[in-house]
Structure 1
Amino acid sequence: MLRAFFMPEIQEDNIMKLEKLVGDRFKERPSDCQIDSHAIMVRGGYIKYMANGIFSSYAPTKRITKKIEQIIREEMDKIDGQEVQFPVVMPASLWQESGRYESIGSELLRFTDRNRMPMVLGMTHEEAAVHLVREYGKSYTKYPFMIYQIQTKFRDEARPRGGLIRVREFTMKDAYSFHTSQEDLEQYYDKCHKAYENIFRRAGVPEVISVKSDSGMMGGSISHEFMLLTPVGEDTIASCHECGFNANMEAADSIIENTRDEVSAPMELVHTPNIHTIEEICDFLHTPKEKSCKAVVYQRNADDSYVVVFTRGDIDVNETKLRNFLGCEIHPAVITEECGLNAGYIGPVGLPENMTVLFDTSLQNTNNLSCGANKEEYHYTGLDIDRDCANVEYHDFAKILDGGICPNCHKHSISISRGIEVGNIFQLGTKYTKTMGMTYLDSNGEEKTPIMGCYGIGVGRLAASVCEAHHDDYGPIWPMPIAPWQVHICAVRSDDADVKACADKLYDTLQNAGAEVIYDDRQVSAGVMFSDADLLGVPLRVVVSPRNLKDNCCEISARDKSFSYKVPVEETADKVQELIKELMAKFND
């Protein structure tokens, strides 16, 4: 037993040897991996599938995420965060206090324990945060403060995808701040925003951008997402190259400018047999989509009541905006014979009265439009909504257009791109503290409700996103601050005594100097050795080979192929340490 207890150095040494590294690496791309980072992390021995959206992590991934977590801790501590730990399992009663037990759908995993008590698996921890501090925060003198954790969470995601990009079980840093005024929250929110910029820069992805976002189920009025722009991203981002405006499409205001025709023609009923879509009616009438009025129909989840949204023919409905306006969940409508709607021929004139009718701002200042006539095989032309529809109010329900008007600088400069959300911050206000009865006494002895902010980063998702942003055809290119190891020594022809002796000595020297080294002294071909090195993606590679030793040199190269040096054997260790410092400094400026 004593011998086992005193073996940590030997165990650590074994982990640093590639032949002892648990996990296999493969040449072939797995057929079920749709995006590059997922394929690389499976091929490279980083993760293993266990169930839909649930993965085990091998040592390289664990080393990467530990470094990300340390960066996060350092930046949270700098802004006076205190690390705590919440339970993964919580009683349903806690979520009933906030009202989310009923309002959140099947993403929240509910179950009953052996005592028949309703429980939940935490997908987020706002309720737990309030529960932890509501007795502590009884006096204004306790404020402000911030608590954070790095914890496993479970969200029963309907469509997991992309390896660690979108999973059901995940590790996340979530932080919660408490304040006595909106001004104080806003000041802290800005500090946290800067801390997030530092985190992403230090993690090797300074290209992450902050975008205005929709608060969704989290609640609150102001929120931002941090996006890594990539074509495989799930989120759609609207950006302005003129003023730097960035917003998630769900939260981006859509501004449409219309010019009315000088004369409004009278409405005319036109026979349009076998024509059901905007494209078909515009082709039939030889008019552009901009001269049509489109109907999109939804139903409320709660009672299946119908909601008809009218937009300009070339404009799509932003369902998030519509949900926020209605204050409820919706789904695409199932149109039946009994509902009073005529599929393919729905228009704003003559609609049944037993449904909600909404008009998008894209229809403001328009006339001479085509639209459905609410009659089988008929459309109207000459629609002027302000003339032909009574008491119309316009609201923004639209997706912003590529090339559209920027909500900030009002130029036609919006471009649409894709991104992966790697972090988010919210100004929650009193959504949770009020419903859960958290109060404090202010300096006048009056009872007040504290204001909250919350701040999240998905650790595994960030690791996978870095891989997605920084890889080539052969494997990942890990940034030095989060790489699983800093140096990869390849002893080519380790059966050669000189090669083995030189590589062993370099390995020992670098380890004693504090460098993180993975050492490959397997008796395999150079091709296999270099292929595995590419899949591990370590920033610096040192090749010790008979050919190099003939010149009394070792070859030091960058995984990103930015440099390659032949360095005298006796200077190699010093040069490696110098390069480690240089590559670390790139992300700490």
Structure 2
Amino acid sequence: MSQLGAQRVTLPMLGSAAMWHKTGRWDALGSEMFRLTDREDRQLCLQPTHEEEVTRLVSMTAQLPLRSLPLLVYQLHWKFRDEPRPKYGLLRAREFLMMDLYSFHADDACARNTYDQVLKLYSSLLGDTLGLPWIRAVASSGCMGGIESCEFHVLTKPGEDRIVRCADCNEPCRNSEGGRIALPNCLSPAACRAEFLTGLEVGHCFILGSDRYPAAFGLRLIDQNHHRQREQRLLSMACYGIGVSRLLAACAEVASTDTALRWPLAVAPYQLAVVSPKAGAREPRLSTETMAELVQALGDAEFNPDAPLVDDRDQLTIGTRIRDHRLWGLPCSLVVKASVDGGISCEFVDNYQPDRQSERATVASAAEAVAIARTFIASISLK
């Protein structure tokens, strides 16, 4: 979000019925919305999304000049939806963590420019950063309304969405209701050869325009002289969401095996775990000072954003601890011992590919061990 110049905010979980009635969505969302009544009989809800709330917040700004646009705000926050069939753990839950971004623009052309930028960032996140099989599909805007929307899906068997794709031009479109779907950008719609994929929706982007939310809250542009323009031009709005908790579950579903939990390196809880010999074993252990120096050097390395996990369960064998690391989703285990010449004996184990030969090396310093760890971890693959 920092690449887009977005500002982070935290919006209320509770929302008033009066605010939702302004856009007509209090009734449109039906039983999906958790509703409650306070002691003064005012109707409230646990907000499933925050378009109304953020528009109300921006509309409270006394003066919003043209030079302040586009205005982008985002949050990482919990959402609540009364799912009729919550299942598969984090894949479909009634409470979930979401990253939602909202943007406000002088016109629809500016909104589309930001929309295109966000689509590129989402594509890079799913494909380049996480390495997931994904597809972007044209989608209905539903009760959100607006001009255009698209969904991002991770292709996985537990997915509940059916994606129709032309086998010739790869143009996709979500098919949520069954039947024949027209692919709007297909190169040969008359002769389209449709194929069906199963996907799990992890992101949804909308160009909302100005008719629903800015119009409901009177969100209008102020000119450079801080006077309301005579044409009373409404701002144009867009919104974007990624289900963070669902995306984590999708990562685990796609990457894991029957015997090991595997995470993309970008979201692994630790890049590597440091293991020393079992207490009482014949293998010589590193001194406390040398171990501390090694752990500090690994924690300071740019490829490892957090300090490594030091697995000091010395009552367990090395093999038992490495098997646990595979169950925990740790990409690499580093077994360290003291060498005969006073150096550090290292063994790097790829927990994602158990058949891969471990890499052994004896180094004279922690810096040398870090250099080998950097190369070894970079070579770890989910494929």
CA contact (8 A) 1:500 1:521 kept: no
* Partner of residue 409 from structure 1, selected from 188, 191, 194: 188
> Which letter does structure 2 place at the counterpart of 1:221?
I
Question: 2:140, 2:263 → 1: CA distance?
Answer: 31
Matched, 1:418 2:195: no
> Larger C-alpha radius of gyration, 1 or 2?
1
Change (3 A) 1:224 1:584: farther
The structural deviation recorded for 1:544 is 4.0
> Which letter does structure 1 place at the counterpart of 2:53?
A
Q: Secondary structure of the residue that 1:164 maps to in structure 2?
A: helix
The structural deviation recorded for 1:557 is 1.9
CA contact (8 A) 1:405 1:412 kept: no
The structural deviation recorded for 1:568 is 1.4
1:109 is aligned to 34
2:310 is aligned to 519
Question: 2:75, 2:187 → 1: CA distance?
Answer: 36
Q: Secondary structure of the residue that 1:560 maps to in structure 2?
A: coil
The structural deviation recorded for 1:78 is 0.8
Change (3 A) 1:125 1:528: same
2:359 is aligned to 565
CA contact (8 A) 1:488 1:542 kept: yes
1:60 is aligned to none
Question: 2:171, 2:31 → 1: CA distance?
Answer: 34
2:5 is aligned to 80
Matched, 1:95 2:14: no
Where do 1:501-540 residues align within 5 Å? 501=286, 505-506=290-291, 508-513=293-298, 514=300, 515=304, 516-522=307-313, 523-540=315-332
The structural deviation recorded for 1:161 is 1.2
> Which letter does structure 2 place at the counterpart of 1:167?
A
> Which letter does structure 2 place at the counterpart of 1:520?
D
CA contact (8 A) 1:205 1:466 kept: no
The structural deviation recorded for 1:204 is 1.6
Matched, 1:482 2:267: yes
CA contact (8 A) 2:166 2:186 kept: no
> Which letter does structure 1 place at the counterpart of 2:309?
I
2:58 is aligned to 133
2:333 is aligned to 541
> Which letter does structure 1 place at the counterpart of 2:310?
Y
Q: Deviations over 1:420-479 (max 9, x none)?
A: 111111111122111233222467532011111100011111111111111112222222
Question: 2:160, 2:203 → 1: CA distance?
Answer: 14
Q: Under a length normalisation based on structure 1, what TM-score does the superposition of the two structures give?
A: 0.56
The structural deviation recorded for 1:121 is 0.6
Where do 1:177-576 residues align within 5 Å? 177-201=103-127, 203-250=129-176, 318=177, 398-400=179-181, 407-410=186-189, 411-430=191-210, 431-441=212-222, 445-496=230-281, 498-501=283-286, 505-506=290-291, 508-513=293-298, 514=300, 515=304, 516-522=307-313, 523-544=315-336, 553-561=345-353, 564-570=358-364, 574-576=368-370
Q: Deviations over 1:26-62 (max 9, x none)?
A: xxxxxxxxxxxxxxxxxxxxxxxxxxxxxxxxxxxxx
Question: 1:234, 1:200 → 2: CA distance?
Answer: 19
Question: 1:216, 1:579 → 2: CA distance?
Answer: 49
Change (3 A) 1:200 1:406: closer
The structural deviation recorded for 1:140 is 3.5
Change (3 A) 1:442 1:122: same
1:348 is aligned to none
Question: 1:548, 1:130 → 2: CA distance?
Answer: 68
Higher RCO by CA contacts (8 Å cutoff, separation 6 or greater): 1
> Which letter does structure 2 place at the counterpart of 1:94?
M
Pairs aligned (count): 365
The structural deviation recorded for 1:501 is 2.6
Give % identity: 31
Question: 1:215, 1:548 → 2: CA distance?
Answer: 67
The structural deviation recorded for 1:190 is 0.4
Question: 1:586, 1:427 → 2: CA distance?
Answer: 39
